[in-house]
Amino acid sequence: MAFSKDFLWGGATAANQCEGGYNEGGRGLANVDVVPHGKDRFPVCLGMKEMLDFEEGYYYPAQVGIDFYHHYQEDIKLFAEMGFKTFRLSIGWTRIFPNGDENEPNEEGLKFYENVFNECHKYGIEPLVTITHFDMPIHLIKKYGGWKNRELIEMYKKLVTVLFTRYKGLVKYWLTFNEINMILHMPFMGAGLMFKEGEDQKEAKYIAAHNELVASAWATKIAHEIDSNNMVGCMLAGGEYYAYSCHPADVWASINKNRENIMFIDVQARGYYPNYALKMFEREGINIGITTEDKEILKNNPVDFISFSYYSSRCISTQGNVEKTSGNAFEGTKNPYLKTSEWGWAIDPLGLRITLNTLYDRYQKPLFIVENGLGAKDTIGADGSVNDDYRIEYLREHIIEMDKAINEDGVELLGYTPWGCIDLVSASTGEMSKRYGFIYVDRDDQGNGSLKRSKKKSFAWYKKVIASNGTDLD
């Protein structure tokens, strides 16, 4: 079986995990900059530990990342050598508006991304741009409280208007918010949220999510008005919750956990809140502050396509005495039928096919897999090689299931961008040792290393996959 001739093979990164240059080119300080490596990383991500500037005794990996800011030409050339048709990257909000609420954008920041996009086009690579990938100016957190404040909608509208205008003709594919459902799991990174003692955290998260959903709809409207060729997508941290057993309580629990994640995509793809969400708000006494204008903008501006990350499936049980495991910040029940990665994430290629079918059956909109990959500790051989056959096996098995979803099930899939096509900082742990890339970057968990790039075995393998349009996976 073959993929369509215009299928978009590529790879994915995020500014906060690779770009660096945090204090260069007029850039302002962002939430992602001050999330440290180590034991305090998750309290900060959860909004339970206030860290709005650098503090002594911590290492902050986003300050340098892998220094894509100075290496982008070298990196994009390597992507082109692999045959990339598309490259997913993100905008650092504070490169464009250092504080977030300025009247005029930062020209140095705009020029940087213009140079990156032009470099992509030099090799025939189509940029796929995430507008907000866990990225927010610290100033907006201090002054407004992050996405809990509706005033951020207007600031986001200003940001996207600048982006769509400046990059008209350079960027066609846009994603509004990365993994929007992660607001529930990493609220500081997802929406710049911090919580005070006694605050209703659940309501705060859903208020912030609603404001992002409205902002996303505005972005879709503005994108289409500025350039009718623009295609705007939403983005989900995907992966089905399986019922651990056929006990009806387990099945019902899996339905509810899947709804918790898919609710955000229901709104962006369909243009309204589903009844199950409205009933949940009613039960919980949550007031998201929805207005008549909000309802109209959501209704009239659904996204053009749905993108998602997929690393693993999840499992849930209502019964006691079951083993727990992790996976992309989602703790759940260990699935006894699946192997796991070094970080305890279930490896489930068939789950990708299941997720593709679930989403396509639900929305009947084009899909885009914008993250998929295996985090692993790579070993460098004496000759400098990295023989990452485990990564090749993981990706091969997922591409096989992707192929089946397209050619046997009829799913409409635009493209595939494996995560961390070049090694970068892990969002969940802040580690460099949790590597995903086809390209090895000499940097360790403490920030040491030359930043030298070198090709792994998977580099040549993925090059062959793209050249054969997915027919040669050996």
Average pLDDT over residues 131-138: 97
The CATH number linked to 375 is: 3.20.20.80
- Is 282 among the domain residues? no
* Tokens describing residue 141: 């957190």
pTM of the model: 0.97
Average pLDDT over residues 285-304: 98
pLDDT of residue 320: 82
- Is 216 among the domain residues? yes
pLDDT of residue 328: 60
What is the per-residue pLDDT across 58-68, written as a single tens digit (0 to 9) for each? Answer: 999 999 999 99
pLDDT of residue 222: 98
Helix axes 349-363, 248-270, angle to 10 degrees: 60
Residue carrying the six token digits 């201090």: 142
The answer to whether 6 and 416 are in contact (CB under 8 A) is no
**What single-letter amino acid sits at 255?**
I
Evaluated on CA atoms 449, 340, 468, 169, the torsion sign reads negative
Residue 145: pLDDT band by 50, 70, 90 thresholds?
A: very high
Q: What is the DSSP string of 371-410?
A: E----B-----TTS----HHHHHHHHHHHHHHHHHHHTT-
Number of folded domains that form the chain: 1
- Is 133 among the domain residues? yes
CA distance 394 to 474: 12
- Is 161 among the domain residues? yes
The answer to whether 76 and 115 are in contact (CB under 8 A) is no
Structural domain boundaries enclosing 147:
8-237+347-468
- Is 276 among the domain residues? no
What is the per-residue pLDDT across 371-426, written as a single tens digit (0 to 9) for each? Answer: 999 999 999 999 999 999 999 999 999 999 999 999 999 999 999 999 999 999 99
- Is 365 among the domain residues? yes
* Tokens describing residue 218: 């505005």
Residue 472: pLDDT band by 50, 70, 90 thresholds?
A: very high
- Is 194 among the domain residues? yes
What is the per-residue pLDDT across 184-221, written as a single tens digit (0 to 9) for each? Answer: 999 999 999 999 999 999 999 999 999 999 999 999 99
pLDDT for residue 2 is more than 80: no
What is the per-residue pLDDT across 76-118, written as a single tens digit (0 to 9) for each? Answer: 999 999 999 999 999 999 999 999 999 999 999 999 999 999 9
The answer to whether 164 and 120 are in contact (CB under 8 A) is no
> Pick from 15, 66, 164, 128: which is nearest to 370 by CA?
128
Residue 327: pLDDT band by 50, 70, 90 thresholds?
A: low
Task: Give the residue numbers marked as catalytic.
Answer: 371
Task: With residue 364 as reference, give the H or E element that holds it.
Answer: none
What is the per-residue pLDDT across 223-244, written as a single tens digit (0 to 9) for each? Answer: 999 999 999 999 999 999 999 9
CA distance 186 to 342: 22
The answer to whether 301 and 218 are in contact (CB under 8 A) is yes
Tell me how far CA of residue 83 lies from CA of 9, 79, 156, in angstroms: 8, 7, 34
Residue carrying the six token digits 């460098």: 380
Q: Which residues contact 108 (CB under 8 A, 6 or more apart)?
A: 25, 26, 95
The overall average pLDDT reported for the chain is 96
Average pLDDT over residues 20-44: 96
Q: What is the DSSP string of 43-97?
A: HHHTTSS---S--TT-B-GGGTTT-HHHHHHHHHHHHHHHT-SEEEEE--HHHHS
Task: With residue 214 as reference, give the H or E element that holds it.
Answer: helix 201-226
Q: Which residues contact 459 (CB under 8 A, 6 or more apart)?
A: 78, 82, 438, 439
